[in-house]
A and B are shown apart, each in its own frame.
Chain A
Amino acid sequence: MSETVNPTLPIIRTVAVDKSFGSVEALRSVSLEIEQGKFFTLVGPSGCGKTTLLRVMAGFEQPTRGQVFIDGKSMEGVPANKRPTNMVFQSYAVFPHMNVGENIAYGLRSKKTPADRIATLVAEALEMVGLAGYQNRPSHALSGGQRQRVALARALVLKPKVLLLDEPLSALDKKLREQMQSELRNLQRNVGITFVLVTHDQEEALTMSDQIAVIFGGEIAQVASPEILYRRPNSREVADFVGVMNFLNVSVLSEHGTRRRVEVEGLGIVEIEEDQAPRGLVGDIVAGVRPEQFTILFEDRASADRCCSGTVTEIQYFGDMTYYAAKLEGCDKTVTISMRNTAGRRTLGPGDKADIGWRSESVLILS
C-alpha cells in the first residue's frame, strides 16, 4: 500500500472500495478519480449505492475493503471530523435549537477560531448564499430553500477541500429546484471547491455537472462528461437511464476494420463508425436512437440523409416540445420522436402518415 500519489490531482480517489451491510453488498469494487475543482455528480436509481459512496468519502461509513484517498492522503482510520470534507445533508440538518449565525459558526468554533474572525466569516458566508443579515433568525423560521442555503454556508465557511452534497435539492419544489441548480453551479465556479453531488435525477446531473459517474447496483457503470454520457452512453442500461432512448433490434452484416455494416430493424442498412459501438459488435446487442435524432419531415428533406416512413399512434404535447409515438413501416416497432414546436410548424395527430428523417451517425450500437 505504498503507492505514490500526485498531491494535486485527483482530489478524491477511491481504490476498489467494497461496502457490505450484513449480507447486502452496497458497493462493489468502486474505483473512481475526481479531479480538483470540478462539479462531480454520482447518479443512479435509488438504492444503487451512491449515497453509501458519498458517506464512505465523508467518513460516516468505513469501507469493507479498499481505500479512499483525499488530496493524496489515505483516509483509513480518519474519522469524519478529521477529514477535509464537509457535507450538505438531504434533510439539511440545520440545528433547530440554534439560530442561523450559531449554525454557521458551529464548525468554526470547534476549530477554535477567534470570535471577531468568526463574525466576519459568518457574515461573508451568508452573503455568499444570498442570506446577508440573517444571523439572528431562528432556524425554525426558515423556508426549505433558506435551510438549504444555511446548510451550504455552514459547510463552505470551513473552506473544505471537497463539499459533499447528498440529494440537496430533492425536498424542494420544481421551480425552486431549478433556481437552486443554477445557483449551486455558479457557487461552485465562484469558490472553486470540488463539489460531489448525489442525485437520482439524471436531468439534474446533466445540467449541473462537469463529470458524472453513473452507478448501478453498487458498481460504476460509466464516468463521463454530460455530453459524452448523453451522446455516447457505453451500455444499454446507461442509455436507458440517462434521457430517453429508442431501442431497435439489430444484426451485424459485415465488419472490415473500422467499417461496420449493420441492419437495424425498421431503418435498414447502416454504416457506423467505431465510436458508435463502444463495446464492439459482439454479444447481445441493440441499436439505440435518441428521440430528437429523428425528425418528422414536413417540407424540407435536406436536413436528413436517411428517411423512413411510419404512422403516428400517439402524441404528447409539452408546450415547447411535442413527443410522437410512431410505428415504423415494415416492422412492429414504435419509436418516440421529439419535435420542437417552432413557429409555423404544424403538429400531426394519431393515424397520420409521417416521413421520418435520421442520420446514420445518430445510431448507437449498445450491449
Chain B
Amino acid sequence: MSGLRMSNWLIVYVGLFLLFLYAPAILLPLFAFNDSAVISFPLAGFTWQWFATVVDNESLHRATRNSLIVAVSTAVFATTLGVFAARAGTRFSFPGKRGMMGLVMVPMVLPEIIIGVSMLVVVLQLGLSLSLMTIILGHVLICTPFSTAILGAAFQGLDRSLEEASIDLGRTRLTTFLLITLPLVLPGIIASLLLAFTISLDEFIIAFFLTGTEATLPVYIWGQLRFPQRIPGLMALGTILLVVSLLLLVCAEYFRRRAARNMGRGEQRELF
C-alpha cells in the first residue's frame, strides 16, 4: 500500500517536472504567433507576420547558410574521428590507451569557454584569421567525444565473430569492414552524425570566441537579442528550428528502429 502511495506522489512530481521542463518550449510558439511586438502576457491575437520577417531577412539567411556549413562539416569530421577512436578503444589494447582515450574525451567535461579561449589564443598568436574554419575546428573538438561514445557503444554491441566469420569465408579486412562492420554500426554512425550536427548548430559559446566576419545562427541571434523589436522574429525563428530538429529526430529514430529490426536485435534503447 505504501509503495503505491509513494509512486502516486512520484507521478505528481514527474508531472510538475515536465511542466517546468516544457515551460519555454510551450511559450515559444505562443509568442511566435502573437500579434504584438512586446513579448508579454496577455496574448494579443494570431499573426504570421513574424514568420514573414524571418523569410525575407538577408543576414539571417547568410547566418543559416554558415551554420549549415559548420554543422555538416563538424558532423562529418567528428564522426570520422569518432569511428577511429571508438574502433581503437573497443577492439585493441595498446600502451597508453587510457591516457589517449582520456584526452579525446576531455572536452566533454571541459567548460566550453576554456576551449574557446585557448583556441582563440593560438589562432591569434599564429597570426591566422578567424573564419568559419576556426569554428569548425572548435566544434569538431567538442563533438568528437560524443561521437566516440555513441560509436563505442555501437562497436561494443557488434559480435566480434561476425567479422571473423567474414574473414574466414575468404574476405579481406577491408571488404569485411565495408560489408559487415559498417552496415551493422550504421545506426550508430547516423546517430553520431545527427548528434554532432545538432550540437554544432546550437553551439554559441565557442562560436562567439572564434567567429570572424561570418556569423553562425546562434551568434546572429545573440546580436539580435539586444533589439527588442527583433524579438518576435526570433521567436518565430526558434519555432522553425524546433520543428525542423524534431522532424530530423523523428526521421532518425524511424531509420534507427528499422535498422535495429533488420539486425534482429529487437527493441533497443534510445540513441544515446
Q: Which residues 159-194 of B sit at the A interface, judged by CB distance below 8 A?
A: 159, 161-162, 164-172, 175, 180, 183-184
Q: Are A96's CB and B262's CB within 8 A?
A: yes
Distance in Å from the Cβ of B37 to the closest Cβ of chain A? 55
Contacts beyond the supplied A96-B264, A141-B264: 15 A-B pairs with Cβ under 8 Å: A60-B164, A60-B168, A79-B167, A81-B167, A89-B164, A91-B161, A93-B159, A93-B161, A96-B162, A96-B184, A107-B170, A111-B170, A140-B263, A140-B264, A158-B169
A93-B162, A97-B263 in contact; A80/B168 too (CB < 8 A)?
A: yes
Q: Which residues of the partner chain B approach A151 to less than 8 Å between Cβ atoms?
A: 165
Q: Are B263's CB and A96's CB within 8 A?
A: yes
Q: Which residues of B contact A (CB under 8 A)?
A: 159, 161-162, 164-172, 175, 180, 183-184, 261-265
Q: Which residues of the partner chain A approach B164 to less than 8 Å between Cβ atoms?
A: 60, 80, 87, 89, 93
Q: Which residue of chain A lies nearest to B169 when distances are taken between CB atoms in the complex? A: A107
Q: Are A110's CB and B169's CB within 8 A?
A: yes
Q: Which residues 129-162 of A sit at the B interface, judged by CB distance below 8 A?
A: 138-141, 151, 154-155, 158
Q: Which residues of the partner chain B approach A155 to less than 8 Å between Cβ atoms?
A: 168-169
Greatest chain B CB density within 10 A among A106, A111, A139 is at A106
Main secondary structure of the interface of A (DSSP, over half): mixed
User: Does A86 have its Cβ within 8 Å of any Cβ on chain B?
Assistant: yes
Q: Which residues of the partner chain B approach A58 to less than 8 Å between Cβ atoms?
A: 168
Q: Which residues of the partner chain B approach A154 to less than 8 Å between Cβ atoms?
A: 165, 169
User: Does A241 have its Cβ within 8 Å of any Cβ on chain B?
Assistant: no
Q: Are B169's CB and A86's CB within 8 A?
A: yes
Q: Are A95's CB and B168's CB within 8 A?
A: no
Distance in Å from the Cβ of A82 to the closest Cβ of chain B? 8
Distance in Å from the Cβ of B67 to the closest Cβ of chain A? 35
Distance in Å from the Cβ of B177 to the closest Cβ of chain A? 13
Q: Which residues of the partner chain A approach B168 to less than 8 Å between Cβ atoms?
A: 58, 60, 80-81, 85-87, 155
Contact among B159, B166, B184 for A106, CB-based, below 8 A: B166
Q: Which residues of the partner chain A approach B265 to less than 8 Å between Cβ atoms?
A: 96
Q: Which residues of the partner chain B approach A85 to less than 8 Å between Cβ atoms?
A: 168
Contact among B167, B172, B180, B261 for A95, CB-based, below 8 A: B180
Q: Which residue of chain A lies nearest to B175 when distances are taken between CB atoms in the complex? A: A110
A60-B164, A93-B159 in contact; A81/B171 too (CB < 8 A)?
A: yes
A81-B168, A86-B169 in contact; A139/B264 too (CB < 8 A)?
A: yes
Distance in Å from the Cβ of A235 to the closest Cβ of chain B? 33
Distance in Å from the Cβ of B104 to the closest Cβ of chain A? 25
Q: Are B162's CB and A81's CB within 8 A?
A: no
User: Does A90 have its Cβ within 8 Å of any Cβ on chain B?
Assistant: yes
Q: Which residues of the partner chain A approach B263 to less than 8 Å between Cβ atoms?
A: 96-97, 140
Q: Which residue of chain A lies nearest to B163 when distances are taken between CB atoms in the complex? A: A93
Q: Are A91's CB and B159's CB within 8 A?
A: yes
Greatest chain B CB density within 10 A among A87, A111, A151 is at A87
Q: Are B167's CB and A80's CB within 8 A?
A: yes
19 CB < 8 A contacts A-B: A81-B167, A81-B171, A86-B168, A87-B165, A87-B168, A89-B165, A90-B161, A91-B161, A93-B161, A93-B162, A93-B164, A95-B162, A95-B180, A106-B171, A107-B170, A110-B169, A138-B262, A158-B169, A158-B170
Q: Which residues 22-69 of A sit at the B interface, judged by CB distance below 8 A?
A: 58, 60
Q: Which residues of the partner chain A approach B170 to less than 8 Å between Cβ atoms?
A: 81, 107, 110-111, 158
Contact among B165, B175, B183, B261 for A93, CB-based, below 8 A: B165
Q: Are B169's CB and A97's CB within 8 A?
A: no
Distance in Å from the Cβ of B87 to the closest Cβ of chain A? 18
Greatest chain B CB density within 10 A among A90, A96, A107, A139 is at A96
Q: Are A110's CB and B264's CB within 8 A?
A: no
Q: Which residues of the partner chain B approach A96 to less than 8 Å between Cβ atoms?
A: 162, 184, 262-265
Distance in Å from the Cβ of B127 to the closest Cβ of chain A? 49
Distance in Å from the Cβ of B259 to the closest Cβ of chain A? 8
Q: Which residues of the partner chain B approach A81 to less than 8 Å between Cβ atoms?
A: 167-172
Q: Which residues of the partner chain B approach A138 to less than 8 Å between Cβ atoms?
A: 262, 264
Greatest chain A CB density within 10 A among B159, B161, B184 is at B161
Q: Which residue of chain A lies nearest to B170 when distances are taken between CB atoms in the complex? A: A110
Distance in Å from the Cβ of A94 to the closest Cβ of chain B? 8
Distance A91 CA – B160 CA, assembled complex (angstroms): 10
